[in-house]
Amino acid sequence: RLYLYWGGDRGRNPIFGCELDPKTFAAKTKALSLFDVDMSRYGWEVRGDDNEQTDGYSYVEGAHMFMRDGRYYLQYAASGTQFASYSDTALVGAAPLGPFRRQRTNPFSYKSTGYIPSAGHGKTFEDRYGNAWHVTTGLVEGFNRRLVMFPVLFDADGEMWCDTAF
């Protein structure tokens, strides 16, 4: 089965998803609104290097799906690629189109300082040995990006998190 995820911008549009026909790429389902920004509850969605710019909007982008052990992890980046606080969040559901809930361990990929600050706009994958990795970008001098790969771990409840210490 094939799914498409898109949307999110300056807090005006949620992330959407739908199932596609794998042969024609035509939509098989209506577009579903999967979640929206909630800066009042989730401080990492607030723009700024220190998540301080509460002027009414935030960027959410880069929707990506990762499946493991029957759980679907819908990932997105917030709050703006130009900020050191840029990070990746995961929502978890039992099906590719949800419903989803935000993890307790969000943002699961976050690094506001160091060689690779701004660990957002990433994707999670599994290697041939079953290890999960999160490849993400880091902000350096404006919009120049560095790629970094962090190990992804799962707790007993299936919550995903990244070890971004180094």
Digit-coded pLDDT (tens) for 78-92: 887 788 888 899 999
Question: Which two tokens mark 18?
Answer: 């739908």
The highest-confidence range among 104-108, 129-133, 137-141, 144-148, by mean pLDDT, is: 129-133
Question: Which two tokens mark 115?
Answer: 């060689």
Mean residue pLDDT of the chain comes to: 88
Q: φ and ψ at 45, to 5 degrees?
A: -85, -5
Torsion of CA 36, 42, 45, 48, to 10 degrees: 160
Mean local confidence (pLDDT), 28-54: 89
Q: For residue 17, what are the β-bridge partners?
A: 5, 32
What integer pLDDT is reported at residue 18 of this predicted model? Answer: 98
Task: For residues 148 and 110, give the distance between their C-alpha atoms in angstroms, rounded to a whole number.
Answer: 12
One DSSP character per residue, 86-122 reads -EEEEEEESSTT--EEE-TT-SSEE--SSSS---EEE
